[in-house]
Amino acid sequence: MSVGPLSQKLFATAKNLIPGGVNSPVRAFRNVGGEPFFVRRAKGSRIEDVDGKHYIDYIGSWGPNILGHAPTVITNTLHEVAKDGISFGIPNPFEVEMARTIVDWVPSVEKVRMCNSGTEATMSAIRLARGFTGRDLIVKFNGCYHGHSDSLLVAAGSGALTHGEPDSAGVPADFAKNTLVLPYNDDEALEALFTERGDRIAAIIVESYPANAGLVLPKPGYLDLLCSITRTYGALLIFDEVMTGFRLGKAGVQGIEGIKPDLSCFGKVIGGGLPVGAFGGRADIMDLLAPIGPVYQAGTLSGNPLAMAAGLAQLRELDKPAGFARLEQLGAHFESGLRALMQEKGIPHRLNRVGSMFCLFFTDREIVNVDDVMQQDLELFKKLFWGCLDKGIYLAPSPYETGFLSLAHTEADLDDTLSVINDVLSTL
Ligand code: PMP
């Protein structure tokens, strides 16, 4: 299977100029054993590649495009706002409105600081937690991705509790040893670690619903346990809602689950497709940030008017009656169709779905953590991916990524997609 000739030509040139031909690794299609297409334009639920082929898109720029591609409400806003200036490095009113909106929508957030990516948000939240507690150790979960800062590029061996091993060349082992990795959804491992070293742990950071190794959901009570154990030991709980925040409801997973983390990280949806990140939480912790506190954090483009205005325009659309409720409706429609189809085909599978996020696993193992995710039939996934791409359906080019629906998707889009998946699976 391959993409069109113009995409192939562009990729050949790109490989000589950009490492691996891409500016972010997953775009290279290596997990599905092929080369990527290049996009010319996208509108609504559709993408057109440089060879003129059209696809229904289930990635939405990896999460930000919750209204679909290039929604008029955002493109108009960008045109208007850009006329008055693109970046000032001076406070502007949009920053205050964005902070007001986040604080109003997310009950655990009393103060918030904007930055330019999810990576910056989690990196800064970790620094702040260390500064607040005066402790160095942090805990993350195997399979959770929090961006590519040094402290967080550690996944370590599955199962057992280990000292962190760097997951990337260039991260000093001496640095990574401060990151402790636990298996997700494992109460005993968590309790054992805190019993042994709880008084030295600054924070637990967790993807509110882990969605970077498939989509894994917490066992009942697990998030409450994270909350109570951090309280008991004087550590902080950091919810990474970069993917789930403002996608699964106004208050993200913490709103759904009734959890009050100390700090939260955001990105993607709040930038309306422009580079953005944010972290916020308890005012007594946030006030440790420079310029009023000793924890340094900064950004030339942070809070720039374009990203703020685009994000605000997007959030206002989501706040309408046809916002989150409609996304749930679309998600439920897709889920029931996919379940029926998979059952009819008799293919062992698991399907996890929350609102507009979904992940299909080709395995009959219960999905508790990343070890289960790794057991799926990768060859079958690759065949589905390429078969769908060939017929104009763009699924994530990796079995470890979550799919996204947008408000631009229609039931007809979803039904067309299900019929393509049916055709592809029938030929295997
Ligand atoms: N946290 C989570 C949960 C993410 O999914 C991602 C990116 N997919 C990040 C952090 C990093 O965000 P960015 O790519 O904007 O740096």
Q: How far is the CA of 124 from the centre of ligand 1 (A)?
A: 13
pLDDT over threshold 50, residue 157: no
What pLDDT was estimated at residue 160?
26
CB distance 117 to ligand 1 below 6 Å? yes
- Per-residue pLDDT, 336: 98
Q: Has residue 127 got a pLDDT over 80?
A: yes
> Ligand 1 centroid vs 84 CA: distance in angstroms?
30
Could you tell me what percent of the chain has a pLDDT over 70? Answer: 97
Could you report the per-residue pLDDT of 381-395, keeping only the tens digit for each? Answer: 999 999 999 999 999
Beta bridge partners of 393: 56
Q: Is the pLDDT of residue 156 over 60?
A: no
Q: Is residue 213 within 8 Å of residue 368, measured between CB atoms?
A: no
Predicted local distance difference test score (pLDDT) of residue 173: 87
Q: Inform me whether the pLDDT recorded for 269 exceeds 90.
A: yes
**The pLDDT value given to residue 166:** 56
pLDDT beyond 90 at 153 = no
pLDDT tens digits for range 159-209: 323 344 557 888 888 888 999 999 999 999 999 999 999 999 999 999 999
Contact 104, 239 (CB under 8 A): no
208-220 mean pLDDT: 95
Averaged pLDDT for residues 263-280: 98
Ligand 1, residue 118: give the atom nearest the CA: 12
Task: State in Å: Cα 362 to ligand 1 middle.
Answer: 25
Burial group, residue 199, by CB count within 10 angstroms (0-12, 13-18, 19+)? exposed
pLDDT band at 158 (very low <50, low <70, confident <90, very high): very low
Question: Would you say the CB of residue 140 lies under 6 angstroms from ligand 1?
Answer: no
**More confident call, 228 vs 156:** 228
Q: Ligand 1: does its nearest atom lie under 6 Å from the Cβ of 212?
A: yes
- Which of 120, 151, 243 most suits a substitution to test ligand 1, by most atoms within 8 Å of the C-beta? 243
Q: What is the pLDDT of residue 154?
A: 79
pLDDT at 398 over 50: yes
Question: Could you tell me if the CB of 243 is within 6 A of ligand 1?
Answer: yes
Count Cβ neighbours within 10 Å for each residue of 343-379 and write b for 16 or more, e otherwise. eeeebebbebbbbbbbbbbbbeeebbbbbbbbebbbe
User: What does the pLDDT read at residue 162?
Assistant: 39
Catalytic residue among 240, 262, 372, 413: 240
> In order of start, what are the domains of the chain with their CATH numbers?
5-70+321-427 (3.90.1150.10), 72-318 (3.40.640.10)
Which stretch of DSSP H or E encloses residue 128?
A: helix 118-133
- In the reported structure, the alpha carbon of residue 64 is separated from the centroid of ligand 1 by a whole-number distance in angstroms of 11
Higher-confidence position of 223 and 174: 223
Q: What is the pLDDT of residue 374?
A: 86
Tokens of 118: 């999810």
Torsion angles phi and psi, residue 11, rounded to 5? -65, -40
pTM: 0.96
The rounded Å distance from CA 73 to ligand 1 centre is 25
Specify whether the CB–CB gap between 268 and 63 falls below 8 A. yes
Chain length of the chain: 428
Q: Which of 145, 184, 209, 400 is catalytic?
A: 145
pLDDT over threshold 90, residue 309: yes
Q: What is the mean pLDDT of residues 292-315?
A: 98
The predicted-structure confidence for 54-85, as pLDDT tens digits, reads as follows 999 999 999 999 999 999 999 999 999 999 99
User: Mean of the pLDDT values across residues 290-303?
Assistant: 98
pLDDT category at 155 given cuts 50, 70, 90 is low
Based on the residue annotation, tell me whether 268 is a catalytic residue of this protein. yes
Average pLDDT, the chain: 95
Question: For the residues of 233-302, what is the DSSP string, one character each?
Answer: HT-EEEEE-TTTTTTSSTTHHHHHHT---SEEEEEGGGGTTSS-EEEEE-HHHHTTBTTTSSB----TTT
Residue 114's nearest CA partner among 302, 264, 300, 242 is 302
pLDDT of the residue at 428:
86
- Read off the pLDDT of each residue in 257-281 and give the average, rounded to a whole number: 98
For the CA of 207, the nearest atom of ligand 1: 3
Q: What is the pLDDT of residues 39-56, one digit of tens each?
A: 999 999 999 999 999 999
